[in-house]
Copies of this chain bind each other. A is one copy, B any other.
Amino acid sequence: MGRNETGSVGFIGLGTMGREMARNLIKAGHRVTVYDVLDEAVTVLAAEGAKPAASPAEAAADADIVITMLPDTPQVEDVVYGEDGLLAAPPRGRLIVDMSTISPVAVRRMHADLKATGTDFVDAPVSGGPIGAKTATLTIMAGGEAAAFARAEPFFRGMGTTITHVGAPGAGQAVKLCNQLICSINIQAVCEAIALGRACGVDLEQMRSVLLGGSAASWMLDKLGPAMIAGDAGAGFRIDLMLKDLRLVQEQAQALSVPLPGTALVTSQYIEARAHGEGGNGNQALFRVYDRMTNRA
């Protein structure tokens, strides 16, 4: 498939992220067949021009590429290894791209198992969240063989803007996990500054503005700072999804003997937030851990 040609996509996983990505592939002119464990998610996309499928195998049958966007490692493994799965029934184009955030160890195993049967596998997790998914501005970090990446790239262009081949199978997940650990620690940093600044009685919005101009600047201070200052623990990338990613970070770090004390600490704070019922709130709700610590909750 050439740079501007369109193709046939099997898309599996139509949650908050996946349904927007599938929509953008349709908009980009690809023929998209969709599958999800929830029938109604399939029905919604079918009404928008997708072809419905009743199993991963059926979504794959006529596809140049199958793309999966699922909650966690077991769901991706199920789609690959399960009954009516992709290992037994690969897409016609022999290319599977998983865009979920899952275990790099599982990625390497699936890559090897699929390779042995003649199917390419690319791990291509994303950052940018639901808004990036909706506006087709995701950052896509892809690991896998160069030829497989090249075949997947025209499809990536329908979903994201910054698309990088970061290395061998599993490298996409590795970079994504590094992204997530930095995000969580940077959020903690903003929480601590706001907790201290508030106790000192300074104007927090003005402080944020001053700090954004210098060495303390971060995406998190910029984007999540206002909600933290306002005490708004509502929507956004959810605490429980970050906690899932932090679990993957720690599994990977343990497998490779890399101590990560900062990540360990912030993970325990995320667990505390979830224990207090904030799993469904956005990541800025980590500041509530500080509210409780300072007896302000």
- A206 close to B (CB within 8 Å): yes
* A window 202-220: CB within 8 A of B: 202-203, 206-207, 209-211, 213-220
Contacts of A261 in B (CB 8 A): 265, 269
- A175 close to B (CB within 8 Å): yes
The contact string, 1 if C-beta is below 8 Å from chain B, for chain A 148-189, is 000000000000001010111011001101111111011011
Tell me the complex Cα distance, A197–B258, Å.
10
Copies of this chain in the oligomer: 2
Contacts of A201 in B (CB 8 A): 167-168, 171, 174
- A263 close to B (CB within 8 Å): yes
Q: Is the CB of B210 within 8 A of A215?
A: no
Interface size grouping (class) on chain A: 35 or more
Name A249's contact: one of B164, B196, B207, B290 (CB within 8 Å).
B196
Q: A170-B200, A174-B200, A218-B219 are in contact. Are A192 and B139 (CB under 8 A)?
A: no
Q: Is the CB of B211 within 8 A of A196?
A: no
* A window 87-134: CB within 8 A of B: 104, 127-129
Contacts of A209 in B (CB 8 A): 164
**Closest CB of chain B to A251's CB: distance in Å?**
11
- A294 close to B (CB within 8 Å): yes
- A55 close to B (CB within 8 Å): no
Name A164's contact: one of B128, B174, B206, B257 (CB within 8 Å).
B206
Q: A189-B181, A218-B219 are in contact. Are A139 and B213 (CB under 8 A)?
A: yes
- A2 close to B (CB within 8 Å): no
Contacts of A174 in B (CB 8 A): 196-197, 200-202
Q: Is the CB of B262 within 8 A of A199?
A: no
Additional A-B contact list (20), CB under 8 Å, known A139-B210, A178-B197, A196-B253: A128-B215, A162-B214, A164-B210, A166-B202, A166-B203, A171-B200, A177-B196, A178-B194, A179-B211, A180-B216, A182-B193, A182-B216, A182-B221, A185-B192, A195-B260, A196-B252, A199-B253, A199-B258, A214-B219, A259-B293
The 3 closest A-B pairs by CB, nearest first: A185-B189, A174-B200, A218-B218
Can you list 30 A-B pairs with a CB-CB distance of less than 8 A?
Answer: A104-B200, A128-B215, A139-B213, A162-B214, A167-B201, A167-B203, A171-B200, A175-B197, A175-B202, A178-B197, A178-B202, A178-B207, A178-B211, A179-B193, A179-B216, A182-B218, A185-B192, A186-B186, A186-B218, A189-B262, A192-B262, A192-B263, A196-B260, A199-B256, A200-B252, A215-B219, A217-B218, A258-B293, A261-B269, A265-B265
